[in-house]
Amino acid sequence: MDRRRFNSLCTGLLAGAAGLHTQSFANASETSPPYPESKLFYPDNTPVTLDSLDSGKAYVFSYPYRTTPCFLVRLGASAPGGQSWPGGLDTDQSVVAFSAICSHKMSHPAKPISHISYRESPVTFYDASGTKQTRQGVISCCSERSVYDPANGGAVLSGPAPVPLAAIALHSDSSGRLSAVGSIGPDQYEQFLEKFGFRLAMEYGITDVRARAADKTEIVLATDFSHQQVLC
Ligand code: FES
């Protein structure tokens, strides 16, 4: 498939995903390089469907490269779309996915340990005005304590992170089966692969760390993906 056709396909998929929420997704074709479509599967090879996702359980999957980790989670709240992202999937817009690479210094879930995680339980932090906040359902990076809001496009709630997490565009077919179809917003994939490529190659057991995600990608519970989760 040539590049133009693939671009067009991805744009159509993204527009379709956005259309499920009757949310506009402005400039997708201008901001998104040709990302693969990767259907999400559980380790036992059953497809991931909207109905199969329980609130509060976070999963890790690789996208848009085979070595770039993302979070998939059904939030306990609705995640309506906005100008820069299409919002969550399902009728309550609660199913979201984000790159799990912290926009500060690229802390990420690795197999031995993760300093960044989705937190179903309340987390306390100080917002930009210095006010103490306690919120559940956030993504927290304990490296230098950045906190992100997955119900609001991965926006930064606290800490040194300069920009939101890159959002992963999801699509659900008529049976509710989920696919990852794109990445939205500022991302650090290239810098990430450059910095951690050697370790990623060993950790994932592949030689080409820049290989795009396959047409199927496996989701694993975040608590199983990393042997140790650092919470703060
Ligand atoms: S790497 Fe996440 S806060 Fe610094």
pLDDT value of position 30:
44
Number of domains in the chain: 1
CA of 114 to the centre of ligand 1 (A): 11
Closest Cα to atom 4 of ligand 1: 144
- Consecutive H or E run containing 19: helix 3-19
The tokens of 18 are what? 């956005």
Domain range for 31: 3-229
Closest Cα to atom 3 of ligand 1: 144
In DSSP terms, 103 is beta-bridged to none
User: 33 vs 62, which has greater pLDDT?
Assistant: 62
Across the chain, mean pLDDT equals: 88
**N- to C-terminal Cα separation, the chain:** 46
Atom of ligand 1 nearest to the CA of 116: 2
- Consecutive H or E run containing 125: strand 123-126
Please name the residue that has the structure tokens 């080409």.
Answer: 208
* Span 184-207, average pLDDT: 96
- Consecutive H or E run containing 133: strand 132-135
Question: 83 by DSSP, 3-state: which?
Answer: coil
**Per-residue b/e over 168-179, b at no fewer than 16 CB within 10 Å?**
bbbbbeeebbbb
Residue 107, ligand 1, Cβ within 6 A: yes
CA dihedral of 121, 95, 177, 91, whole degrees rounded to 10 = 120
pLDDT above 80 for 220 = yes
- CATH number, residue 9: 2.102.10.10
pLDDT above 80 for 86 = yes
Rounded to whole angstroms, the Cα distance separating 96 from 53 reads 11
CA of 145 to the centre of ligand 1 (A): 6
Question: 22 by DSSP, 3-state: which?
Answer: coil
Residue 144, ligand 1, Cβ within 6 A: yes
- In the chain, what percentage of residues exceed pLDDT 90? 83
pLDDT above 80 for 49 = yes
Residue 100 class from Cβ within 10 Å (0-12 exposed, 13-18 middle, 19+ buried)?
buried
In DSSP terms, 1 is beta-bridged to none
* Span 61-82, average pLDDT: 96
Please state the pTM of the whole predicted model: 0.86
pLDDT above 80 for 132 = yes
Question: 61 by DSSP, 3-state: which?
Answer: strand
CA of 162 to the centre of ligand 1 (A): 10
